Amino acid sequence: MASVSQSGELSKSTALNGHWASRWDEVLPIFTRAVKRGEISDALDFEMRFAQLAGAVYFRVLVMLGPVDEEWLEQLVAEIP
């Protein structure tokens, strides 16, 4: 499995490249700030959490054809441990 170090470096075997690598560069600071605020643990696998959240959004939009509004996003974040 690929992993992301706390410094944000992607391992060479990571499937994130091109578009997703640039997206990751935008997402990582969100996790870093949450750690600094004490909202999440620095032991959290950021790449895994990002995949869980993004997967839920993609499923909601592409499979369920449902809306993604602020209320739904807040519930999603609250329900993922």
Q: Which amino acid is at 28?
A: L
pLDDT value at residue 11:
56
Cβ atoms of 68 and 60 within 8 Å: the answer is yes
pTM of the model: 0.69
Q: Please report where in the chains the tokens 């997206």 appear, as a residue.
A: 23
pLDDT value at residue 10:
55
* Per-residue pLDDT tens over the stretch 42-71: 999 998 999 899 999 999 999 999 999 999
pLDDT value at residue 1:
45
Cβ atoms of 49 and 31 within 8 Å: the answer is yes
Cβ atoms of 33 and 40 within 8 Å: the answer is no
pLDDT value at residue 24:
84
